[in-house]
Each structure stands twice: as C-alpha cells, then as structure tokens.
Amino acid sequence: MKLKDKVAIITGAASGMGKAEALTFAREGAKIIVADINFSGAEEVAQLISAEGGRALAIQVDICQNSDIKQLVTHTLNQFGRIDILVNNAGIFDHYKTSLETNESEWDKIININLKGPYMATNAVLPTMLDRGEGTIINIASVAGLVAGKGGAAYTASKHAVIGYTKHLASAYASQGIRVNAICPGTIITPLVKDIINNIPVENIPAKRFGQQEEVAELAVFLASNQANFVHGAAIPIDGGFTIQ
Ligand SMILES: NC(=O)c1ccc[n+]([C@@H]2O[C@H](COP(=O)([O-])OP(=O)(O)OC[C@H]3O[C@@H](n4cnc5c(N)ncnc54)[C@H](O)[C@@H]3O)[C@@H](O)[C@H]2O)c1
C-alpha cells in the first residue's frame, strides 16, 4: 500500500475526480476526510470507503468560508491526529465564457472557489504540516492552466494562477519538508463536463479519447506517495497528449 496510515483531506470529494481520489487513496491505505459543500454526496463516498473496509469521515465544507476550513482542520486533527496530504480538488467551470461575457459576480465566484479556496485550505493545513516537518499538497489545476482554449477567461486565469501558487508554495516550503505539486487534467469524464462533453472534439486529442477520473486519481496517489519524494513544484499534464501539440 502506497499511502498506508496517511491522513488525507480531499476537497470536492463528493463527485468526479475527488470521489475517485478518495476511493483510490483509501484503497492505498489512507484515512480520508471527504470534504465537500455537498454533504449527502460526501457521506455517500465515506460510506463507500467504509464498505470496502477503509476509514473515512464526511465533512461539509465550503472551501471559500474561513470558519468551515478551520472546522475542517480541527475535526481532522481531533479524529485522526494529523494531516499528511491535502488535495485541493474542488472547482467549478465557467462554460468557456470570454472576458466580455463574464460578469463581475461570475468572475469572483470562479476565482474564489478555484483559487482562493486552495489558498485558504493550504494556509489552514500548513502550520500542522510544518510542525511535523512533513506533508504534501496536490492542487488540481487543468490544461487550462497551461494553454488557452480549454476554458473561459475566469477559469483559465484561475487555473494559471493555481499553477503559479503551486510553484510559490513548493519553493517557499520545500526545505521544511513540504512537497507541493499540481495536476493538469485534460478533458476527464466527470459530472463537471457532462453538459459539454459532446461538443468537445475528441480528434484534437492525440490519444483519441477522454480521460477517466481513476487515471487522475492514480497520478495523485503517486504524487502523494513517498515515490514522489523528489518531485516539487511540478505541473503535470494528464491529457492524452493534448498540450504537446
Ligand atoms: N472534468 C474535467 O474535464 C476537468 C479537467 C481539468 C480540471 N478539472 C478540475 O478538476 C477538479 C474536479 O473536477 P470534476 O470534474 O471532478 O468536477 P465535479 O463537478 O464532478 O466535482 C467537483 C466537486 O467540488 C465540489 N465543490 C464545488 N464548490 C465547492 C465549494 N465551494 N466547497 C467545497 N466543495 C465544492 C462540488 O460539490 C463537487 O462535488 C476541479 O478543480 C476542476 O476544475 C476538471
């Protein structure tokens, strides 16, 4: 088992990639905090993990709310005693709206959830990780953090910023035992893209297919594990070759 007895907080874990990460991390021996604004969905994932013999706790969290984030960390430390892994996975999409099509409240919402949320969760877990001199953080960015055309103005800006934030964190805290990396998925079949997937041309992807959420979860397991001990500040595409063209 690659994550035996590690304690992992995964945000947005009620659905899609976060759910796959929660289930896969649990199968690798981690204890999981299934954190999501959708509490019933989070409970379902925690129950699935328990049914497989793993340990999980569902917590309702709006990652933009400081009080929720503080409670998340307190609850995790009370239940499991430490935090080894944070996966900043929760995020929303902007349906390709250009800058002129994006109003101020839409811009604020995307930036708040996709960028400020990871900052808030990271700042909440870092002190306990630094106290122990170890910890790893994985930010789920996107190929929209590397190139244009895979999201609208706010989404693209938020995901580019998440990669910049990842690099900052990695350089600031690597010497204190903290590893921070980003994953940049291409189109992955999840509820987030269910309304648009039929309009995304699969022929533009060298692998000629969309990704599976479990494939992203396996990359997250690697980054969270000791096998990735020398990987700091990377932004790794998992996109069927989309960004190599
Ligand atoms: N699906 C794709 O093709 C794709 C591609 C690249 C990147 N991503 C990124 O991957 C991540 C996961 O996406 P997904 O496709 O699994 O989406 P999803 O919609 O299936 O899951 C997102 C989860 O985040 C939760 N969430 C939303 N706002 C929240 C908040 N304020 N606080 C707490 N939880 C909140 C939702 O309830 C949901 O359970 C996102 O950051 C997304 O931007 C997705």
pLDDT at residue number 229: 98
Strand partners, 7: 31
pTM of the shown model: 0.98
- Tell me if residue 173 is catalytic: no
Task: Band the pLDDT of 222: cuts 50, 70, 90.
Answer: very high
Classify each residue of 198-228 as buried b or exposed e, where b means 16 or more C-beta atoms within 10 Å of its C-beta.
Answer: eeeeeeebeeeebbebeebbebbbebbbeeb
Task: Band the pLDDT of 227: cuts 50, 70, 90.
Answer: very high
Q: Break the chain into its structural domains and give their ranges.
A: 7-185+214-235
Give residue 130 CA to ligand 1 midpoint distance, Å.
Answer: 27
Determine the average pLDDT of the residues in 87-92: 98
Q: How far apart are CA 244 and CA 241, in angstroms?
A: 5
From 119, 155, 165, 173, active-site residue: 155
pLDDT for 167-211, tens place per residue?
Answer: 999 999 999 999 999 999 999 999 998 888 888 999 999 999 999
Determine the average pLDDT of the residues in 27-32: 98
- DSSP element (H, E) containing 36: strand 31-36
Q: How far apart are CA 121 and CA 14, in angstroms?
A: 17
Determine the average pLDDT of the residues in 224-242: 98
CATH number assigned to the domain with residue range 7-185+214-235, chosen from the 4 options 3.40.50.720, 3.30.2350.10, 3.30.930.10, 2.40.170.20: 3.40.50.720
Determine the average pLDDT of the residues in 124-151: 97
Determine the average pLDDT of the residues in 32-41: 98
The best mutation among 10, 40, 92 to test binding of ligand 1, ranked by most ligand atoms within 8 Å of the C-beta, falls on 92
pLDDT at residue number 47: 98
Q: Which residues contact 22 (CB under 8 A, 6 or more apart)?
A: 10, 13, 32, 34, 45, 49, 56
Give residues (CB < 6 A) around ligand 1.
Answer: 11-12, 14-18, 36-38, 41, 61-64, 89-92, 113, 140, 142, 185, 187-188, 190-193
Q: How far apart are CA 51 and CA 199, in angstroms?
A: 37
Pair 184, 237: CB distance under 8 Å: yes
Q: Which residues contact 201 (CB under 8 A, 6 or more apart)?
A: none
Residue matched to tokens 């789920």: 140
The best mutation among 192, 215, 243 to test binding of ligand 1, ranked by most ligand atoms within 8 Å of the C-beta, falls on 192
Angle separating helix axes 16-27 and 39-51, nearest 10 degrees: 30
Q: In this structure, is the dihedral angle defined by the CA atoms of residues 59, 26, 172 and 81, taken in order, positive or negative?
A: positive
The best mutation among 190, 213, 239 to test binding of ligand 1, ranked by most ligand atoms within 8 Å of the C-beta, falls on 190
Determine the average pLDDT of the residues in 55-83: 98
Torsional class of 81: left (φ above 0), alpha (ψ -120 to 50), beta (otherwise): left
Q: Is the pLDDT of residue 95 over 90?
A: yes
- Supply angle C-alpha 115, 86, 58, rounded to 5: 100
Give residue 206 CA to ligand 1 midpoint distance, Å.
Answer: 24
Q: Is the pLDDT of residue 152 over 90?
A: yes
Q: Which residue has the higher pLDDT, 197 or 83?
A: 83
pLDDT at residue number 176: 98
Give residue 160 CA to ligand 1 midpoint distance, Å.
Answer: 16
Q: How far apart are CA 104 and CA 111, in angstroms?
A: 11
Give residue 14 CA to ligand 1 midpoint distance, Å.
Answer: 9
